[in-house]
Amino acid sequence: MEVRGLHKRYGDVTAVDGLDLGIRYGEVFGLLGPNGAGKSTTVEILQGHRSRDDGEVAVLGADPATADRAWHARVGIVWQDESAPAELTVRETVTHFARYYPKPRDPDAVIALVGLEAKAKARIKSLSGGQRRRLDVALGVIGGPELLLLDEPTTGFDPGARRQFWELIRMLAAEGTTIVLTTHYLEEAEALADRLAVIAAGKVVAEGNPAQLRAEYGTYATVEWQEADGAPRSERTRTPTRTVAELTGRFDGEIPGLRITRPTLEDVYLRLTGQEVAP
């Protein structure tokens, strides 16, 4: 996937402002950003669901704006909004959607993958919000896509369901599926993504794997220790190694209660998107 100079405007509002992306075959790529940053619009353009105003886009070797039906069968998507008809059962819905694809996965196997075996005969209108979200994921993967676009896929999941979904994503990635994921859960992005792009105001402000982003943009570390009288102390510093060296000299050996906390991906994200709270 190659995106260069992507622009999308809605009247006077610029949703995507010269965005560049390069996504490799077989990787899990995360898009992070606050609400209104342009993530969902970008995903819709990549899928061919929305037109662009300017820029070049190539997905699986084709322009999504003019791609044919065979190309669309190679791309799966999970939208933020529910899409399944309320009166059908889970099995009826997944089986029905499977008929749209030339080489679909087995419907019962997909239902099991998303943890809905016990609800296979239940009507969709009787499902909880989290269960309906799992069904949306099932419909996104039923066609056995080469590329899977996931727009906030685990919204409404409880912690156990979210971990089960992570295993599904890892399985699909291991099979060679390329996955593009937007999420507000930083733990999810760090657990799943090979690389991440942070988007703010319609532009990519940083890109790399989670460790690279923490190393490059995680400015401060926190060094904690205990004084001789047992009083806790801490220092926020750009040079934690130097601080520890100074403490080693002062304590003449072991530093009581020493702990060094490096910036988390969440810290980096908040800084890059202008939401960092000053210490």
Per-residue pLDDT reduced to its tens digit, 214-240? 878 877 788 999 998 889 999 888 888
279 residues of the chain, pLDDT tens digit each = 999 999 999 999 999 999 999 999 999 999 999 888 999 899 999 999 999 999 999 999 999 999 999 999 999 998 876 667 788 999 999 999 999 999 999 999 999 988 899 999 999 999 987 788 888 889 999 999 999 999 888 877 778 878 888 888 898 899 889 999 998 888 899 899 999 999 998 999 999 998 888 878 877 788 999 998 889 999 888 888 899 998 998 888 789 999 888 777 888 888 888 766 555
Residue 167's closest CA among 133, 146, 191, 150?
Answer: 191
Across the chain, the runs of DSSP E, i.e. the strands, are 2-10, 13-22, 28-32, 54-58, 75-78, 147-151, 178-182, 195-200, 203-208, 221-226, 232-237, 259-261
Residue 266's closest CA among 55, 32, 48?
Answer: 32
Domain range summary for the chain, segments of one domain joined by +:
25-49+68-193, 220-262
Per-residue pLDDT reduced to its tens digit, 68-85? 999 999 999 988 766 677
Number of CB atoms found within 10 A of residue 254's CB: 9
pLDDT at 278 (0 to 100): 52
pTM (two decimals):
0.80
Determine contact, residues 126/155, Cβ cutoff 8 Å: no
Determine contact, residues 114/57, Cβ cutoff 8 Å: no
Per-residue pLDDT reduced to its tens digit, 104-129? 999 999 999 888 999 999 999 999 87
Number of CB atoms found within 10 A of residue 168's CB: 18
Largest CA distance in the chain: 73
CATH code matching the domain that covers 25-49+68-193, chosen among 3.20.20.140, 3.40.50.300, 3.20.20.220, 3.30.365.10: 3.40.50.300
Determine contact, residues 147/95, Cβ cutoff 8 Å: no
